Structure 1
Amino acid sequence: MNCSCTRNTHTQRSRRLGDESGAPYATLSEAELLRAAEILRAHGALDDDHRIAYIGLDEPDRREVAAGRVVPRRARVQLLDVGTGLARDISVDLTEGELVLDVPIEHDVSGQVPLLQEEHALIRDLLAVDDDWLAALRLRGITDPATVALAGLSAGRYPIEGEAGRRLARVLAHHQPTPQTMPWAHPIDGLVAYVDLGSRSVAQVVDTGVMPIPQETADYHVPGTFGPERTTQKPIVIQQPEGPSFSFEGDVLTWEKWSLRIGYDMREGLVLHGIGFKDAGRVRPIVHRASIAEMLVPYGDPGPVRFWQNYFDTGEYLLGRLVNSLELGCDCVGDITYLDVPIADARGGVKVLPNAICIHEEDAGVLWKHTEQFTGTSDVRRQRRLVVSFFVTVGNYDYGFYWYLYLDGKIEFEAKATGLVFTAAYDERTSRFASELAPGLAAPYHQHLFCARLDMAVDDGPAVIDEIDVTTVPIDDGNPHGTAIGFTATRLTSESGAVRRANASIGRTWRVSSATATNRFGRPVSYVLTPEGTPVLQAHPESVIASRARFATADLWVTEYDPEERYPAGTIVNQSVGEQGLPVFIADDASLESADLVLWHTFGLTHFPRLEDWPIMPVDTCGFVLTPHDFFDRNPTLDVPASASSCSCAHEAPGHGGDPHHMPHSHHLPVSPSSPAH
């Protein structure tokens, strides 16, 4: 990794996730992953013809755990027979050594299991000797297929003749004349290959005509390509001489008044369980489970080469297995604790990914502050936050996933998108759907849409949910001057009625309130989800991608908790049929009154690439916030001490010795002590 680091200002600690493998929600340990493969082999399910497409914790029903029942440790596995193309969904009891579930995954009913990493090598081998592909390259002046970088991509599910039932990938190409060349600058356009992964053959080569290959370099990684580096930056030093304020017990992390379990899944990546806040001597639950359960990148080029270009990075590629090993002082700065993550490979071996999760504290500005003219005091406290994050690379793009916990009980998620935009050749046709970033180089318009699954547990009981809108209050006897400010709270009572759109113009939020717990005034305690209100999926509602990604057509879905409802686009996403996942989950239209509620929140970026995004894109961000609302009886940070520094953060206001009538530069002095300034 190339980065500029002052390493002696940083501290690194490492732990391995899964050390507490006996706990109900603990990540599968290295030993458990190996045990699962051993059991599969013993039952004849894993051999030379089979591959593990996915393996993760088969999570127990939260109601069973809450009732204190002993729940089995199980692994959920998706297996692919690479000889026949048949797939199976299996649950492995790690204690009993049995397969407690073993059902076929039917292609026509659901779809295909995720792409295997070895299938990318298969694509390269097949195209390297395919006559039609090689002929198309020669028409473009390329005689050596080794100088072509191939992107083997999920195929989607389109009504194309001969494709039904086949396990497919579609392949786009970029020219890479030297190993150091950044290939994304040189798309080989007008050309796409359809590869049948099951039969190990090239099904079709689509060549719509030769287009010039853009030639301007994008080799930003080569020093001096775009001029000398700046020399103006002075060091910023972040130090915690007494170490971090958080601690671990197994996989359970505690920081300030927060506690939570850190988990990891090769599909979702980082998973947080049991998020709670200590208040009045007890830990009050807030969220039972939080993850980013799906990520969709739909492209907007409708042409014959790229009309199919839509990626479910979570369900089709298993982004959790694409995690980066983070670099101290580059990806994470300060006093850092890293978590190593065990990941199973397709044949049942296990690789431990080092430094996969980064945990640290950050100063987050002012927490609260006031200078009071009547008492002559000025107080300020600093906010800080705990950061739990990981980064993945999915082809050309890199994504950071950041969970923030704040001193005042706020929870925030932020996605960071960077890396390189996917490129094409720029011409008159693509100008409608793409930006020109270099001579002849196009970057198609596209979106990055994330879906958070938030299994709420506000004070650990059943809940209700209200949609809150700011409203204009009419002028009447109660509001004669028209100055009142109001809001409406609309109860969402059923799953079908809780498919909602955000509306920033009226400040729309969604409030999850406990059905049983109240604050000191007898009002329900609650947490509020505040969306950013950015556009959802822009593809036509009747399009194939809208059908397969129906979750992304609304900002919010709410369902009654069901342990089998894990993924918004369905369990099987690769080449999936339409209307899976959330449309199926809400088909029974379950009541949301006094229920265990799961919130599914879609948010993201709509990207019209700009010149500043090339040759590498500065981070763009999106996310959401969960904020306590009447959850605490007062500001929960009144006990936060003033910062230790050369000056006091709690002191007499300057210049008046406590006399409010001698405050300098005050233009709103009170008439009397009983008449406040504002």
Structure 2
Amino acid sequence: MADRLKQLYQHISQTTTPPHPFDPLSSVEIEYAIALVRRDHGKLGYNAITLSEPKKKEMIAWLADPSLPRPRRMAEIVAVDKDSALYDGVADLKDGKIVSWEKLAGVQPLITMEDLQDTERVVREDPKVIEQCRILGIDDMSKVYCDPWTIGYDERFGSDVRLQQALMYYRPHVDDMQYAFPLDFCPIVNTATGEIIHIDIPSVRRPVNTFASNYMPPDIEKIGGYRTDIKPLNITQPDGVSFTMNGREINWQNFNMHIGFNYKEGIVLNNISFNDRGNVRPLFYRLSLAEMVVPYGNPEHPHQRKHAFDLGEYGGGYMTNSLSLGCDCKGVIHYLDAEFCNRAGAPVTIKNAICIHEEDAGILFKHTDFRDGSTIVTRGRKLVISQIFTAANYEYCVYWIMHQDGTIQLEIKLTGILNTYAMAPGEDTHGWGTEVHPGVNAHNHQHLFCLRIDPQIDGQKNTVFQVDAVPGEAEVGSKENFYGNAFYAKKTPYKTVAESQVNYNGATSRTWDISNTSKLHPYSKKPATYKLVSREIPGLLPKPGSLVWKRAGFARHAVQVTKYQDGQLHPAGRHVPQTSGEPSLGLPEWVGDGNDKIEDEDIVLWHTFGLTHFPAPEDFPVMPAEPMSLLLRPRHFFLRNPVLDVPPSYASTPSQVAAGKGITDLADKSSKLAFRAALETEACCKK
């Protein structure tokens, strides 16, 4: 052990290029952290080992002056012993020591992929489960499957024992899709002992469906095959990409940022800046999807337990896919891997966890003068940083998109398969779900995501304004508003945390400005701002006081703003499984009495958005991707349109039109490429 520790330490300390302080832990660093724990605390099982991010104040100083001492590499450790006791620790990888170690009671860590796989094996072998399957007419347990979920919270069992609930399915044939054959009972599994401690069985049994619904190629061939009128669409970049990578830092079209990754949030973007004609301006210190909850709307027991916190209970990083060219991403791709550890403490790598590529973004700007036909049209480009993770039945495709005009877009596409439950012939769903296939009930549900925005708009002191489009206050016929047509943007600054706890208002097209009030635009006299534009913001439908409402305190409001504090990253709490919501953890704790001042402060904006899903047959057996999107847009930030220097696809000035010319002949290489493309499309444009 001592020799291996020494070897690992030498490898880390003698690295020619030390890792960026925001870089995720490498496999060697993970192995070293585990060796330190084994030295001090013996043999344990590992739930997570991840970067303990540097203190913000220290990191900001180092980013401003890299000659300062580099922030220390620290590892957060979540470990479990043979009796299922949970430990939180932090290891200093520079000094080679455990600097904190705490045993936690009544708290459960997230469920890992190994836990999920173990549960399916346990379910198939348990005599009580076998008996229930035989009651439903199933004798071959190799055809029985389950989706293991955390139990959420069940007052019968509490939080002292680590539990999962097994949502049961059947596959008559190995290639059948099990969600067409849901079973009506739900075993509860002790994760530590591998025992079934209870089975929830409905008072009225529902038969097993006998009608398959599949989506793989052999099944499509049986119903007429694939359409044949789709011609190839090729994406080429003969001169390569327009971005450069330095480790995990990326430069693209004036943007610079660091691309991190962790087991819970997945992609984390740090230290985002924009080079405004030689002036590098800070935008955001950290952006991430911090949490999500998927509450289901069937009130019948035990469906009240179905409200998955997919990041806090399973980990968006742990569930991420290994992406492949031509399928998940197209074009010229740069990939980044993700490195974790398994239960035994061995490093695990997910290849191609992050895909980075460019896409055409359509028209960036265009104008045609109707008087003389002079025209300019410029096509835009976007940088896409993406991951896809699979949470049992659902896929979540997460795209962080940078636009040339400084806009940052977050797009999420939902696909995969509906969570289903058995239903009897003629059974009334009571409006809580939809029969999407004979004998298959898909329950109503929501997907609510929490975006964590840590801004630094031209500096660390920012203010959030609520912006509502409202009519002028003066009455029709008054001197101030005689014709009654006046309207304006009503901007309300949030001065305290309590004032910031607000919901969306579609009637006023509500948006939110994140502003630096000390930096005024020379023309508009308004502060430098990034505007949060988000329209898909359903309210949390479970009622106040409900189990979900208590556990998902972050989802009670569309926006909440808190004063920055190191370590406040997870809005549903650090350890989410089996929390009761009493007291509410995470964001409700940090809000406190709501009296903290947040005007011109170092702040964090928490934004909950998403969609409400009432399933339909078109969503089955596999769901067409449903997108949702939000924007962070610069306003009063640039002197004028910041993309005037993007080479046009076509341009003709009035004088060129009069002289019979059609293209602006510019000298640099990029403009020559634009010129060549414009020649190819000129005939079409003239039409």
Q: TM-score with structure 2 length normalisation?
A: 0.88
1:56 aligns with 2:50: yes
1:88 positional shift: 1.0
Q: Is the 8 A contact 2:108 2:159 kept in 1?
A: no
1:167 corresponds, among 162, 167, 175, to 162
Aligned to 1:437: 436
Matched, 1:44 2:41: yes
Q: Which range moves more in the overlay, 194-203 or 499-508? A: 194-203
Q: Report the Cα distance in structure 2 between the residues aligned to 1:169 and 1:635, rounded to whole angstroms.
A: 54
Letter of the 2:104 partner, please give it.
Answer: I
CA distance in 2 between partners of 1:113 and 1:159 (Å):
18
| Residue matched to 2:542 | 539
Residues 1:572 and 2:575 are matched in the alignment: yes
Match of 2:73 in 1: 73
Are the equivalent residues in 2 in contact too, given 1:174–1:184 (CA < 8 A)? yes
Equivalences for residues 172-571 of structure 1 within 5 A: 172-189=167-184, 191-208=185-202, 209-223=204-218, 224-373=221-370, 377-427=374-424, 428-473=427-472, 474=474, 475=476, 476-521=478-523, 522-571=525-574
Q: Mean Cα displacement is larger for which, 199-208 or 484-493? A: 199-208
CA distance, structure 1, for counterparts of residue 653 and residue 382 of structure 2: 25
The equivalent residue for 1:626 is 632
In percent, how many aligned pairs have the same letter? Answer: 34
Quick check: 1:144 aligned with 2:144?
Answer: no
Question: 2-side partners of 1:127 and 1:606: how far apart?
Answer: 32
Q: Displacement, 1:348? A: 1.8
User: How many angstroms apart in 2 are the aligned matches of 1:66 and 1:444?
Assistant: 47
Deviation at 1:119, TM superposition (A): 2.3
Whole-Å Cα distance in 1 between the matches of residues 345 and 260 of structure 2? 20
Q: Retained in 2: the 8 A contact 1:376–1:653?
A: no
Conserved 8 A contact 1:294-1:312: yes
- What are the superposed Cα offsets for residues 430-454 of structure 1, whole Å, 9 maximum, x if unpaired? 3421111111111111111111111
SS at structure 2 position matched to 1:430: coil
Q: Which residue of 2 aligns with 1:666?
A: none
| Superposed displacement of residue 61, structure 1 | 1.5
Distance in 1 separating the partners of 2:18 and 2:509: 43
Q: Hey, what does 2:674 align to over in structure 1?
A: none
Question: Which whole-Å deviations, capped at 9, do the CAs of 1:246-279 have from their partners, x for residues lacking one?
Answer: 0101111001111110111011101101111100
Q: Is the 8 A contact 2:471 2:485 kept in 1?
A: no
Q: Deviations over 1:214-272 (max 9, x none)?
A: 22222211421432111101111111100000010111100111111011101110110
| 1:301/1:434 contact within 8 Å kept | yes
Measure, in 1, the Cα distance between the counterparts of 2:527 and 2:16.
Answer: 38
1:328-365 residue CA offsets vs partner (Å, 9 max, x unmatched)? 11111111111122222222211221111111111111
Is the 1:19–1:250 contact (alpha carbons within 8 Å) kept by the matching residues of 2? no
Partner residue of 2:8?
Answer: none
Higher helix proportion: 2
Task: Summarize the alignment of residues 605-616 of structure 1 with structure 2, pairs less than 5 Å apart.
Answer: 605-616=611-622
Q: In structure 2, what residue type is equivalent to 1:155?
A: I
Q: CA deviation at 1:164?
A: 4.8
Quick one: distance in 2 between partners of 1:562 and 1:637? 36
1:153-164 paired onto structure 2 within 5 Å: 153-160=149-156, 162-164=157-159
Contact (CA 8 Å) 2:294, 2:307: kept in 1 or not? yes
Verify the 8 A CA contact 2:389 2:396 in the aligned structure 1: yes
AA at the equivalent of 2:456: A
- The separation in 1 between residues aligned to 2:52 and 2:637, in whole angstroms, is 32
Q: Deviations over 1:139-189 (max 9, x none)?
A: 1001122210111111012322x4452211111110112321211110011
Q: Per the alignment, in what secondary structure is the counterpart of residue 189 of structure 2?
A: strand
Query: SS state of the match for residue 496, structure 2?
Result: coil
Q: Which blocks of at least 5 consecutive residues in structure 2 are unaligned?
A: 1-14, 63-67, 661-687
SS of residue matched to 2:303: coil
- In 2, Cα distance between the equivalents of 1:62 and 1:163? 36
Partners of 1:250 and 1:124 in 2: CA distance: 39
User: Quick one: which amino acid aligns to residue 55 of structure 1?
Assistant: I
- Distance, in Å, in 2 between the alignment partners of 1:220 and 1:340 is 30
Shift of residue 654, structure 1, vs aligned partner: 9.6
Give the 3 Å change call, closer, same or farther, for CA 483–19 of structure 1 in structure 2.
Answer: farther
- C-alpha separation in 2, matches of 1:129 and 1:354: 33
> Which stretches in structure 1 are left out of the alignment for 5+ residues?
1-17, 659-678
**What is the match of residue 7 of structure 1?**
none
**One-letter amino acid of the counterpart of residue 314, structure 2:** Y
Q: Deviations over 1:106-152 (max 9, x none)?
A: 21xxx310113332343234333433222111110011222101111
SS in 2 for 1:54: strand
Indicate if the aligned counterparts of 1:461 and 1:515 stay in contact, CA closer than 8 A. Answer: no
SS in structure 2 of the partner of residue 88 of structure 1: strand
Determine if contact 1:263/1:272 at 8 Å carries over to the other structure: yes
SS at structure 1 position matched to 2:410: strand
Matched with 1:584 is 589
Is residue 121 of structure 2 the alignment partner of residue 119 of structure 1?
no
Equivalent residue number for residue 685 of structure 2: none
1:395–1:164 CA distance, 2 compared to 1 (3 A): closer
Partner of residue 680, structure 2: none
